[in-house]
Amino acid sequence: MLDMVMSVDDDSMVQMISEIIMSDEGFCDSIVKLEDGRLALEYFEEQSKLPLEKQKIPELVFLDINMPVFNGWDFLNQYDKDFKNFHNRTKIIVLTSGVDPETEIKAVEHPLIFKYITKPLEHKHIAELKEDPLFNSIANS
């Protein structure tokens, strides 16, 4: 079980569904729900100011791409630059509607993105993650 998962999505229904599914699967202890990329960055900013032992860094981030004001790509650009020390502690999974095929291509090629999942998040996705040795190797480190 993971300690913490962050869910970044402007759609509160998505947040609710993800929460239910993760809770059904007993996937994590706590979920941080944030509604855009800016707030997610601010979260990391806050944590980076704390002493290491007090930091609460999510092992996994579910990131929506299509968000108003500060979208998923904006977040990734900034996160890449400013929070390099978190990169090996956190996996990022893009969870998006999948209408635009370009997004998938871009996401699959992006070095910071661990996985691309088309909405909706389902039980099987979480089950797969739990079975994925590559994911676990990081989640447990």
Partner 1 sequence: MKSVNKIFHDTFLRIKARFQLVKEIQDEYSENVDEIREKNYSDDRVKLIVQNISDMVTLVNKQGIIVYNNNAVTRILGYEPEELNGKSMLELVHPDDQERVGNRFTEVLQKEGIGELIEFRFLSKFGNYLLIESVGNIQLNNPAFHAVILISRDITEKRKIEDSIKASEERFRSLIHHISDIITIVSVKGEIIYQSASARQLMGYEENELRKRNFAEIVHPEDFPALMQSFQKLIEKGGVSELAEFRLLDKNGNYFYIEAQATNQLNNPYIKGIVVNSRDISIRKKAEEERKILIQELTKNNSDLKQFSYIVSHNLRAPLTNLTSMIKLLDFSTVSTDRSLKLLNGFKSTTLHLNDTLNDLIEILVIKDNTNIHTENIYFEKALNKIIKSIKILFAETNTVISSDFSSAQFVKFNEPYLESIFQNLITNSIRYRSSDRNPEILIHTEIQGDYTILTYTDNGIGFDINQVKDKIFGLHQKFHHHPESRGIGLYLIHAQITSLGGTISVDSEIDKGTTFKVSFKN
Residues of the shown chain interacting with partner 1 in the complex, contacts defined by CB under 8 A? 11, 13-14, 17, 20-21, 66, 97-101, 119-122
Q: Nearest approach, Cβ of 127 to partner 1 (angstroms)?
A: 15
Closer CB to partner 1, 94 or 121, in the complex: 121
Closer CB to partner 1, 44 or 73, in the complex: 73
Q: Which H or E run contains 141?
A: none
Rg of the chain over CA atoms, in angstroms? Answer: 14
Q: In what order do the strands lie in the sheet with 2-8?
A: 28-34, 2-8, 60-63, 91-96, 113-118
Q: Nearest approach, Cβ of 116 to partner 1 (angstroms)?
A: 15
- How far is the C-alpha of 15 from the C-alpha of 12, rounded, in Å? 5
Q: Nearest approach, Cβ of 19 to partner 1 (angstroms)?
A: 11
Closer CB to partner 1, 63 or 139, in the complex: 63
